[in-house]
């Protein structure tokens, strides 16, 4: 159906985000379209991670509606969560590679878990994604033999394996030096240009200045959206 291509990758209607019995963000309504680049900011503890976790179904949605990559998040079952995680990828600030396996094994691990079977295709795909993140022959390296920036590139390569429609990145440059962060950020903008929507939680406001884009801000239990209202990105920090 032609209308399908206009479906947003994220649609939220009147959602409230909870941690235990506490409402962290209330009454959120917004949508994020295919291929958008959106920042998620807000002071520490304001709810960025909680919102992202709800989007990738790691935290229950108890009030309101959410649809992510075509999946209804309300009451989503574990089988569907597995399917959802093939259409979207999530990246964290701590690199989260399996420390006792090589880069290749880390990537194959995800491929196998997501239904890849043919060894030759897997090998080609691995080379493709490593090239996309600007890494050469690192397949046989262990994570600890790589720098933090290189490890994060491997994580991003792993996230690209199944060509996600949406990449959720929770503070992806939080553990990196500024120069290294710049390179990783550039990679996200390249990935975005090739059509993947990106929701990036960040404390690094320099990106907002150098690469302006839509901003969502968690502030005092509400989510502000620069598409809907003007607000000061930098206030209340
Ligand atoms: N597992 C949990 N159980 C109970 N409360 C939690 C849990 N995780 C977070 N919280 C609370 O929810 C609120 C929002 O936390 P959250 O981690 O979403 O904020 P954040 O904006 O991502 O912060 P940061 O920038 O420090 O990562 C905080 O008050 C926090 O203490």
Could you report the predicted ipTM of this complex, rounded to two decimals? 0.96
Atom of ligand 1 nearest to the CA of 47: 18
- Assigned architecture for domain 2-97+164-225: 3-Layer(aba) Sandwich (3.40)
How many Cα atoms are found within 13 Å in the side-chain-facing hemisphere of 73? 28
Gap from CA of 78 to ligand 1 centroid (Å): 23
> What does the pLDDT profile of the chain (237 residues) look like in tens digits?
344 557 899 999 999 999 999 999 999 999 999 999 999 999 999 999 999 999 999 999 999 999 999 999 999 999 999 999 999 999 988 878 999 999 999 999 999 998 999 999 999 999 999 999 999 889 899 999 999 999 999 999 999 999 999 999 999 998 888 889 999 999 999 999 999 999 999 988 889 999 999 999 999 999 999 999 988 887 765
Q: What would the two tokens of residue 33 be?
A: 């379209």
Question: Which of the listed residues 16, 17, 24, 204 should we mutate to test ligand 1's pocket, taking the one with most ligand atoms within 8 A of CB?
Answer: 24
pLDDT at 179: 87
Q: What would the two tokens of residue 129 be?
A: 């994604």
Q: Is the pTM of this model over 0.80?
A: yes
**Measured from the CB, is residue 50 less than 6 Å from ligand 1?**
yes
pLDDT at 234: 78
Q: What would the two tokens of residue 102 be?
A: 């090589």
Smallest CA-to-CA distance from 30 within 16, 48, 11, 15 is with 11
Smallest CA-to-CA distance from 84 within 64, 68, 108, 62 is with 68
CA distances, 153 to each of 100, 103, 207 (Å): 18, 11, 18
């Amino acid at each position: 159906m032609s209308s399908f291509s206009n479906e947003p990758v994220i649609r939220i209607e009147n959602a409230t985000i909870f941690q235990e019995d506490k409402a962290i963000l209330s009454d959120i309504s917004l949508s994020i379209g295919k291929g958008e680049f959106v920042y998620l900011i807000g002071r520490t503890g304001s709810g960025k991670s909680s919102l992202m976790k709800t989007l990738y179904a790691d935290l229950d949605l108890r009030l309101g509606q959410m649809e992510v990559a075509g999946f209804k998040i309300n009451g989503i079952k574990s089988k569907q969560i597995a399917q959802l995680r093939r259409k979207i990828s999530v990246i964290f600030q701590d690199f989260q590679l399996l420390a006792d396996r090589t880069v290749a094994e880390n990537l194959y691990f995800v491929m196998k878990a997501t239904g890849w079977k043919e060894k030759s295709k897997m090998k080609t795909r691995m080379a493709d994604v490593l090239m996309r993140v600007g890494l050469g022959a690192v397949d046989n390296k262990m994570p600890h033999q790589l720098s933090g920036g290189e490890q994060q590139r491997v994580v991003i390569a792993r996230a690209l394996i199944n060509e996600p429609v949406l990449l959720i990145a929770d503070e992806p440059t939080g553990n990196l030096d500024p120069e290294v962060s710049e390179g990783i950020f550039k990679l996200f903008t390249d990935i975005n240009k090739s059509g993947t929507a990106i929701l990036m939680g960040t404390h690094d406001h320099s990106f907002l200045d150098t690469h302006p884009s839509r901003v969502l801000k968690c502030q005092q239990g509400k989510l502000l959206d620069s598409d809907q209202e003007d607000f000061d990105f930098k206030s209340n920090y």
